[in-house]
Amino acid sequence: MADHIDIVIPDLGDFEDVEVIEILVGAGDSVSREDGLITLETDKASIDVPAPASGKIVELTVSVGDKLSSGDVIGKIFVEVGDTLLVTPAIEAKIAQGDTTVMSSPASLAPESVGKQTISVPDIGDFSDVEVIEVHVSVGDEVNVEDPLLTLETDKAAMDVPSTAKGTVESVLVKVGDTVSEGSPLVIVAAVDAPETATETKPPEKTVTVAAIVPAEKAPTSMSSQAQGLPAINEAGFSKAHASPSVRKLARELGVDLVQVKGSGAKARILHDDVKAFVKKVMTGGAAMPGGGMPKVPVIDFAKFGAVDLQPLTRIQKISGPRLQASWLNLPHVTQHDLADITELEARRQELKGPARERGISLTPLAFVLKACIAALKEYPKVNSSLSEDGLSLVYKQYYHLGFAAETENGLMVPVIRDADKKDVYELAKELAELSLAAREGKLKADQMQGASFTISSLGGIGGTAFTPIVNAPEVAILGVSRSSLQPVWNGSEFKPRLMLPLSFSYDHRVIDGACAVRFTTFLSKTLSNVDALLQAIP
C-alpha cells in the first residue's frame, strides 16, 4: 500500500523568507529518509531540508532563489505505508487515536520546538577553572544529543562536553582560553522535541509504523582519504568552507578537503557538482591531492616478533603530526647549513650571566639568537612573509612575532614572543623562560601559540651538529640551532680555536631561493659576532 505525503519546511526558528540556494533532487528521483532535498541559507548557516521518508519524489514546487518559511509545502513524495516517517510524539498520539490524516499534514513533518535550553558544564569531579581548548560549534549549527560542543582540558586529561539537547545553536557563551567550572553555562540551544524510542500503533483500517526523529549519524570523517593513504582533512579550513551540510557530507565520503575545491555557486559557494568535478579531475590526473601519489606504508603486526607495548599518542602529537606532514608534503623544503662564530658573544654572555641572575633572568644563548634573527628578518623581509592562499602574492608582515620550539612531556610546543623587535636581550631571555615554564606545565593559552612570523628550533642544549627542521607553515622559513663546539679556524696566518655555532636554515623554495638563503645565514652569522649591537637597548 502506498500514499503521497507533502514535503514541508521544518521549524526554522526565528527565520522567515529564507532563500533556496540549491535543489538537490528532481521529480522521479528515489530518496532515503534524511537525504537532503533542497538547501536553504540564512545569514548564519546553510540548512538542508531532509526527506521525511524513503520513497520517490513526485514533484518539487520550488526553484533556486525562492523564499521559504517554516511550514511551507515544497512538493510531494510517494512513500510506502509502513515506511519510517519523521514524526513527533504529538503526531504519534494522533495516529494512536485513529487520525491517519496527519500523514499528509505539513505540520506533522516538522519537529516541535521545546524552547531554548542552556547547556552547562556537567559534573567534572574535583576540578574547577578548567580551560576551554577547543570550541566545536558556532551560532547556527545543528546539533544532536551527545554531539561534542567543546573540549576542556585539566592537568590530567582532555574531555568533550556533549550536547544534552537536539536543536540549533543560538549562542556560544565561551571561547578558547576561557576557564569554566561545574555548572558554568556554555551554549544556548533552540531545542526541538527529544528523541523517543520506536513504537508501533494500530489505528483502524491502516497500519503505520511510527518512529521518532532519530539523530542523524555524523558523516564519516575522511574515511576515503584515510583508506587511500591521503593526509587527514584540514578541519579548521573545512569547517569554514562555504558549503551546505549535504555538500560537506559528500566531500567527507569522497575524502575531499573542501579547502582545495573552488566553488561555482553564488558568493563562491561550493556545490555538489564542484566536489564531483574536483574528484574527476584528480582521477584523470588534472589535479593532485597532497600525498595522493604516495605508496602506503606496509602494515605489520609487530607482536609476531616479540613483546610490544601500545601507547596512545598525546593530544599534542595528534595535532602536530598531521600539520608537520602537510607542511613537508606541500612545501618544497631546502635546508642551508652554516656556522656562526660566537666566541666573543659567549665570552660576554659569561660575564653578564651573574648580574642577569641577580635580576632573576637566565641569560641563555638563545636570547642572543632571537635578537640576531630580528636584525636578519628586517634585512631580508621575504623571510618574514607568507605565501597568499591563491599562491599569487606574498604577504609581508610588518610585525616580528618569534616562535620557539619548547620540549614538554607531551611533545613539542611552539610558544610565541610577540613584538620581539621591541624587546632587548634581557627582556627576550625573561620571556623565553616564562613561556617555556608555562609550556612544560601545560598552562600556555591559545593566543600564546598563535601569530608567529618566524620560528627558531634550538637543540643546542642537547647536542647534534646539524638537522633539517620542518617549516612551520604558513611561515616560509625556520632556523635550527645545534650545539656549539670549539673548532680550528684559519685566520689567514694560523689556525685559532673558535667557538662555532651550527645553523640549519630550512625554507620554502617557492618563496626563498638559495642565494637569498645563504645571504640570510651569512648576515645572521655576522650579527651574532657583533655583541655590542645585540646588547643595545631598544630605542
Do the beta carbons of residue 61 and residue 185 sit within 8 Å?
A: no
Mean pLDDT, residues 6-22: 82
Confidence at residue 83, expressed as pLDDT on a 0 to 100 scale: 53
Confidence at residue 199, expressed as pLDDT on a 0 to 100 scale: 37
Confidence at residue 479, expressed as pLDDT on a 0 to 100 scale: 97
Confidence at residue 334, expressed as pLDDT on a 0 to 100 scale: 96
**Tens of pLDDT along 151-161?**
887 655 567 78
Tell me which CATH code domain 317-535 carries. 3.30.559.10
Of residues 56 and 517, which shows the higher confidence score?
517
Task: Using DSSP bridges, classify how beta strands 67-68 and 402-404 pair: parallel, antiparallel or unpaired.
Answer: unpaired
Does pLDDT of 194 surpass 50? no
Nearest CA to 344 among 500, 505, 481, 503? Answer: 500
Confidence at residue 132, expressed as pLDDT on a 0 to 100 scale: 86
Percent of the residues in the chain that have a pLDDT greater than 90, as a whole number: 35
Confidence at residue 47, expressed as pLDDT on a 0 to 100 scale: 79
Confidence at residue 195, expressed as pLDDT on a 0 to 100 scale: 42
At 168, is the secondary structure helix, strand, or coil? strand
Rounded Cα gap, residues 47 and 216, in angstroms: 14
Q: How confident is the model at residue 102 (pLDDT cuts 50, 70, 90)?
A: very low
Tell me which CATH code domain 221-310 carries. 4.10.320.10
Rounded Cα gap, residues 403 and 469, in angstroms: 13
**Tens of pLDDT along 287-326?**
555 545 566 778 889 999 999 999 988 878 888 888 888 8
Per the prediction, the chain carries an average pLDDT of: 81
Q: How confident is the model at residue 345 (pLDDT cuts 50, 70, 90)?
A: very high
Does pLDDT of 201 surpass 50? no
At 319, is the secondary structure helix, strand, or coil? helix
Q: How confident is the model at residue 220 (pLDDT cuts 50, 70, 90)?
A: very low
Q: How confident is the model at residue 85 (pLDDT cuts 50, 70, 90)?
A: low
**Tens of pLDDT along 28-47?**
888 887 788 888 887 666 77
Domain boundaries, given as residue ranges, for the chain? 1-110+199-211, 113-192, 221-310, 317-535
Rounded Cα gap, residues 165 and 216, in angstroms: 13
Rounded Cα gap, residues 48 and 61, in angstroms: 16
pTM, full prediction: 0.50
3-state secondary structure 192-204: ECCCCCCEEECCC
**What's the CATH number of domain 1-110+199-211, 3.40.50.2300, 2.40.30.110, 2.40.50.100, 3.30.1490.20?**
2.40.50.100
Rounded Cα gap, residues 141 and 386, in angstroms: 32
Does pLDDT of 481 surpass 80? yes
Cα angle 401, 402, 407; round to 5: 140
Rounded Cα gap, residues 469 and 414, in angstroms: 13
- What fold, for 113-192? OB fold (Dihydrolipoamide Acetyltransferase, E2P) (2.40.50)
Do the beta carbons of residue 12 and residue 72 sit within 8 Å?
A: no
Does pLDDT of 196 surpass 50? no
Which amino acids are annotated catalytic?
A: 509
User: Which residues pair with residue 49 across a beta bridge?
Assistant: 38
C-alpha cell at 82: 509502513
Chain length of the chain: 539
The single residue listed with the C-alpha cell 616562535 is 403
Q: How confident is the model at residue 193 (pLDDT cuts 50, 70, 90)?
A: low
Topology match between the domains 1-110+199-211 and 113-192: yes
At 424, is the secondary structure helix, strand, or coil? coil
Residue 220: CB partners within 8 Å, gap ≥ 6? 252, 253
Backbone φ/ψ region at 224: left (φ over 0), alpha (ψ -120 to 50), beta: alpha
